[in-house]
Amino acid sequence: MGSISFNDIPATIRLPAVLVEIDNSKAVGGSTLMPYTNLVVGQRLATGTVAAATPIRVTTTAQAKAYFGAGSLLALMCETQLKNNEITETWAVALADDAASAKAAGAMTFSGDVTASGTLFLYVAGQRLKIGVAAGQDAAATAAAVVAAIATAKDLPVTAAVDGAVAGKVNLTARNAGETGNVIDVRVNYYDGEALPAGLAIAWGNGGGTVDGSPTPPWLWAAATAGQVSYSANIDPARPFKTLALTGVLAPKTSPGMRLAGGTANPDIGDVFAAIGDKHCNVLTVPWIDAANLHALHVELLDRWTGLRMIEGMAFVGAYGTMSAIGTLGDSLNSPFISIADATGGRTFAESNLLLFDGVSVYSTDADGTVRIWQIITTYKTTASGAEDISYLKVNTILTLGYLRYDWRNLVLREFPRHKLANDGVKYKPTQAIVTPKILRARAATWLMEKAEDALVENVDAAIAAMVVERNDDNPDRADMYLPPDIVNQFDILATQLGFRL
């Protein structure tokens, strides 16, 4: 046997020949580019061309509308996510409405004759409709005009019909059944300067009158957040997400209006995971926040995090409600892999800070109405034994660890693909494909230094000192390693005391 570990050329060749094999094992060095994949899940309509529980890649909004039906929950979620991130590979899985579900509904009743021609500014799930009204137009004609406008706007998540029994009444129904319809916002006069045409009045159903918060449904907040986070994290998973602006999300505001109500029963997210199998999806957007689905989501993501599957994912959901309701939802979860967006918005500094201790992510609004990420966290708060724990608090932590695992694993697969394992203490020929505990330790130390240069880890000397590499006592073909990187943190707070002198 020679000193060189050939891959293709055997030592038993006697015929004269000049044989040259190509070896790429040392061709690539440095950090691995981790290809992110987004997964958006939601509900389809019968008009969609892609069957339920069928994973499919989505690259444009037009595709999403064709695949899942215009105005469907999933088509709208894909549209919002693509507005925030059209670069990262995006897949979607649609489910049909649950057979036992009911659709959310609501009504708006117009009264009065319009005394001067004008425009009715109607917002449905954050989408703006401008409906012209003429002087002398009665309530029934206004209701008919609203129904016609909604029918024309194919991307709205609702349908509309004139009541028939009550003059001027418009009945609205969510296109998709389930609890997600209960957060569909219907309002008028969102922007300054918008007002009802003179002589026109509206009575809102579902106990409405005024609505606060954002007109944009929480599941679209989740889609926008997931898009921004995945775009940023694929560049640098450790860099803070604060100040990233959400596209396609309207700022919180109080306006005349209502939210639909009465939607019940969501699909089972387990059908999504059965459909995708072991496909690695780094960032997931999920519209369902009922306890059963959130539990199933956590259980699946926890299993994907394990050292046997290694296909970790971070899921984003959105919720609307009072401080008490949102805080209760956050407190009900303790998952490192689920992040809840407070889509209500408009919180004070103190309220936002309290929600962060409930495991809820918070947002800020610029003077021009731009919605920005303020702080993104997971719902993780305590260990299994109930001890307070911040180890998995930050989404950055989860995404950074996921990248480090991916990069280290790829390094080993790339640099030691068909190596022999032996003990230290022998001077092996340098061209032999062999690895020892010292060789692994040295490569891991170099890797830590490389990751420190990438600003992903720190305190490298301490990590190297604590590292353990050894051969397994029971399996001679196995090496065991303890690799303790100290991941970098985010510059979130600067506390300064100005100790002035006179």
Q: pLDDT tens-digit profile of 287-319?
A: 999 999 999 999 999 999 999 999 999 999 999
- 205 has a pLDDT exceeding 60: yes
pLDDT for the residue 1: 56
Percent of the chain with pLDDT over 70: 100
Distance, CA of 53 to CA of 94 (rounded, Å): 6
Per the prediction, the chain carries an average pLDDT of: 96
Q: Is there a single domain that holds both residue 229 and residue 329?
A: yes
Q: Is 15 part of a structural domain of the chain? A: no
Consecutive H or E run containing 327: helix 323-331
Q: Do residues 287 and 161 both lie within one domain?
A: no
Name the percent of the chain lying above pLDDT 90: 91
Does residue 222 share a domain with residue 91? yes
Query: How confident is the model over 448-502, as pLDDT tens digits?
Result: 999 999 999 999 999 999 999 999 999 999 999 999 999 999 999 999 999 999 9
Res 409: pLDDT: 97
CA dist 236 to 393, 404, 498, Å? 18, 11, 34
pTM summary value: 0.95
Residue 17: the pLDDT is 80
85 and 141 co-located in one domain: no
Q: Into how many domains does the chain fold? A: 3
Answer yes or no: is 26 within a domain. no
Query: CATH number for the domain including 122?
Result: 3.90.1160
The pLDDT of 61-79, averaged and rounded, is 99
Residues 401-453: pLDDT tens digits? 999 999 999 999 999 999 999 999 999 988 899 999 999 999 999 999 999 99
Q: Identify whether residues 296 and 357 lie together within a single domain.
A: yes
122 shares its domain with 169: yes
Residue 286 sits at φ, ψ, to 5 deg, of -125, 130
Confidence band for 275, pLDDT divided at 50, 70 and 90: very high
Does 465 fall in a domain?
yes
**Structure confidence at residue 2 (pLDDT):** 63
Residue 14 placed within a domain: no
* pLDDT for residue 437: 98
437 belongs to a structural domain: yes
Whether residues 233 and 341 share a domain: the answer is yes
Indicate whether 71 and 92 sit together in one domain.
yes
| pLDDT for residue 9 | 85
CA distance 361 to 377: 6
Residue 26 pLDDT > 80: no
Report the candidate in 233, 246, 242 with the shortest Cα–Cα distance to residue 493. Answer: 242
Instruction: Supply the range of the domain harboring residue 228.
Output: 37-96+218-237+267-368
Please indicate, yes or no, if residue 430 is contained in any of the structural domains: yes
Return the pLDDT at 103: 99
Mean pLDDT value of segment 156-181: 97
Segment 37-49 shows an average pLDDT of: 99
Q: Are residues 230 and 324 in the same domain?
A: yes
Same domain? 315 vs 272:
yes
**Chain centre to alpha carbon of residue 393:** 16
Shared domain for 426 and 336, answered yes or no, is no
Q: Verify that 361 and 274 share a domain, yes or no.
A: yes
pLDDT at 24: 82
Boundary-marking domain end, from 162, 179, 204: 204
| Residue finishing a domain among 368, 391, 408 | 368
In this predicted structure, what is the pLDDT of residue 28? Answer: 76
* Domain boundary residue, one of 204, 229, 256: 204
Which stretch of 28-37, 269-278, 340-349 has the lowest confidence by average pLDDT? 28-37
Rg, Å, the chain Cα set: 28
Task: Determine contact, residues 110/168, Cβ cutoff 8 Å.
Answer: yes
